[in-house]
A and B are shown apart, each in its own frame.
Chain A
Amino acid sequence: MGMIRDNPVLSRELLVNLRSHRAFILQFVYAGLLATAVLLAWPQAGDGRIGASVSAARQLFDLFFYGQFILVALVAPTFAAGSITGEKERKTYELLLASPLKPSWILVGKLFSSLTYLILLLFSSLPMMILGYLLGGILLSEVARAYLVLILAAGTFGLVSVACSSFFSRTSSALVVSYLIILPIAIMGIYLASTDNFQLRNFVTLTLLPPWTLATWTIVVWLINLRLLRPPDVGSEGKDVMDEQEEQKYAIGVVIDRDLFPDKLFAPAKRTDLMPDGTNPVLDKELRSEIFSQGTLMLRVVIQVSMFLSIPLMAGFLFWRTMPGWYICYVLTFNLLVGPVFSAGSITQERERQTLNLLLTTLLTPGRIVRAKLMAALRVSTVLTLLLTEQVILAYVLVRDLQLQFLTIIPFFIIILASCLVTSSLGLMWSSLVRKTSVSIIATYLSLLLLFVAPFGVYQWALTIFPETPDNILRWIMTPSPYASALSVPIVGDRLTSTGSDISPIERPLAFAKVQIWVISLGISLLISLICHLVTLVAFRYKWWKARESV
């Protein structure tokens, strides 16, 4: 208990995090949204249908459980992935390590402070969940089990994020690797939880999940402890100089070689001589020096995890079933995660590292600087994303159904490229609008979630609010989402789902406009990118003068 009660790290973080108006407002808004959901789903007076309230209760329970599970998966890394990297970025990490605090105390302080607010949010939904219980049809043990799963998930995702935070030196790297590890686990969790087999659900959540989770926690805690006990030599000024060649010697799995294809596409070799005349020095610096300035670990993990995940997805969506749209959705998700890492810190890091003033007093114009930052981010994120499309090309070569409609590969590639442009542009825009990289990255992710996923939610909501409106009109709501765009490309001949129709049932809701939807979606993506670029340019010009307003 002393580790929690007398933990200075925990006390300080809780004090800073919970005393802000923002924390209160966020909780208020969250509870308000939940209350609205309950109000909308509550059976109307006079609704005498047998089981109306039971079905409403089940609907509410599912909404709360899945909604909060997704919330935990998305929010836990934003709270925890910056817990230790934040100390490194603020240059207080060494002070913490040099204090008499044991690593376990630091870990507990960081983990609890990161997750306390999230747990508070979760428990603020309990009264609403109990209201659902009062409607009938849900057992109290189900409610308790749901919260057990949510807390175990919060702990696991939080610990994974703190572990990433202890291994990387930048919050952006820790965040993206955390998401890459957490999102597949979360999707698997939702899949298991959605089974109708009550006994299987009980077995998984009560018998299987707790011991496995605790075992995972033990391993992760041991790893973090080890890292905190024996941190790498941080060198002078708290910064380590990365020797790429030395690092590559000890690399496990993928090794990045700047001289080889395709690695040299996103990381051109370091210069051995002066830049040629007419080179944009910012673009050159970003690609040749900055990309691996913190080492190659993050990129190696990202490439390996994404490739590993792509294997079953490729088998399922490209070879077993003919559903390339779904595989493209995975590629888009990867781009959603990775794109912002290279753009959302582009300008904020110049400020944080105190190099912005050096840059702004040169003859480089804001337009040139911003363009170079966008081109660098776009190049790296596009090449990394395209690495996952080798499987698509392979499927179009080997699978007969896809061979017969090979032209459909073109819209898929256009959709991916447009998505790369959007993710990089949005990241850069946020980087020019806010002061901290961590804020910029989270704002970018939220904007992208809004763009990628929210249209589907709005469509579902519109279906219930405007039941009279024809479905094919309401479906246009989904157009801005690149996912909708990918799923709208008409594919014929899924051998498992073909029932006389030319498209699979899953893709059918979006197939109403066939070719048109992805074209319009592409237009929207380009428009968003253009707006982002203009906002970035204006914001950067404004900050050009207001670079350091504080005295």
Chain B
Amino acid sequence: MIEVEHFTKRYGDFMAVDDLNLSIGEGEIYGFIGPNGAGKSTTIRFLATLLKPTSGEGRIAGHSVTNDPMAVRRVIGFMPDDFGVYDGMKVWEFLDFFAVAYEIPRLERRRIIGEVLQLLDLTHKRDDYVNGLSKGMKQRLCLAKTLVHNPPVLILDEPSAGLDPRARLEMKYLLNELRRMGKTILVSSHILSELADFCTSIGVIERGKLLASGSIQDIQKQLRSHRVLKVRILNENPSQFEYILKNHSSVKAPSVNTIERTLSAEFEGDGPAQADLLRQMMDAGAIVEAFDEEQISLEDVFMMITKGIVN
């Protein structure tokens, strides 16, 4: 649905995005992550037809971003990271304005505006002035504007930025709802844990380069060889079992934390090797309270990728 080929954007001597290639399939929710200034917004603005590339090409639903921007605009709904609202306009007028701008006939507009207001839980704000809305409400309104022409592709730049925890949670539910509606979504965010909940794939970008791209599971698989096992025991002296870890062929760099009574180590083995290690420890008299693999969160993936551990 979204294809980016060799996209490069240079501002004078500064390389904002360097030879970026991306492919997002229909119905996918693609999380675009990266630190500030990494090139996320530049890529997103390029796809939203707002930026001329130095080189490269992008296609959305088969339409060229550079050669046929009008066709692209028909199929995308764009929500910028920073946006304003028009003064002196009510919520329904704001939506009507954009619906007319997307050439939606009057007969359909009434129904569509009602539906998006309901979807975004803004019906009670229908007659409020948009410049009097709170930040969270404005974010919702902008998302409502993004949906008025029912685009199959949504490009959302930091939709949760600056929202309070409740509004952020509500935004997450909304995006999940849109996912269920079959939209293809490209979403950038700093709140990585939110992306992990609903993204089918992610791309990590730093200093204009795409460091990793694919499904979260695939990327985590790449990190599998570095998974960390943690064993918590109830015995007084956990150090007495360290030799078992040291002698096991699948274990590397074991360490002991006597205060927390835990042993941890990098584990390179498979399931049976893991079961064998547990059995050896129990045979040696260890009272095992917990034997678990340390979970790798999206934050860890991001940190490991941007540190160059994985590429």
Contacts and interface: CB of A to CB of B under 8 A. Distances in A.
B75 to A, nearest CB: 11
Interface stretch (B131-139, B163-171, B210-218, B265-273): B131-139
Contacts of B96: 271, 274-275, 281
B70 interface: yes
B172 interface: no
Interface in A345-365: 353-355, 357-365
A363 B76 CA distance: 11
Given A242-B88, A276-B106, A361 B131 contact: no
Given A236-B132, A271-B93, A293-B86, A361 B106 contact: no
Nearest to A292: B88
Given A275-B106, A285-B97, A551-B42, A241 B132 contact: yes
Interface residues of B, number: 47
A118 to B, nearest CB: 32
A360 B135 CA distance: 22
A548 B101 contact: no
A436 to B, nearest CB: 15
> Dominant SS at the A interface?
loop
Nearest to A294: B87
A277 B110 CA distance: 12
B98 A362 contact: yes
A354 B110 contact: no
B37 interface: yes
B243 interface: no
Interface stretch (B44-52, B188-196, B244-252, B299-307): B44-52
A289 B88 contact: yes
A361 B37 CA distance: 23
B103 A363 contact: yes
A547 B259 CA distance: 58
Nearest to A351: B84
A529 to B, nearest CB: 27
Interface in B197-239: none
A20 interface: no
A361 B78 contact: yes
Given A237-B131, A293-B131, A357-B80, 16 more contacts: A236-B133, A241-B131, A274-B106, A274-B110, A277-B106, A281-B97, A282-B101, A289-B86, A353-B87, A354-B82, A357-B45, A361-B50, A362-B73, A363-B102, A548-B45, A551-B41
30 contacts: A236-B132, A236-B133, A239-B87, A241-B132, A274-B96, A274-B106, A275-B97, A276-B106, A281-B96, A284-B97, A284-B100, A289-B87, A289-B89, A290-B88, A291-B88, A292-B88, A293-B86, A293-B131, A354-B82, A355-B86, A358-B142, A361-B48, A361-B49, A361-B50, A362-B98, A363-B103, A364-B101, A545-B51, A550-B11, A551-B42
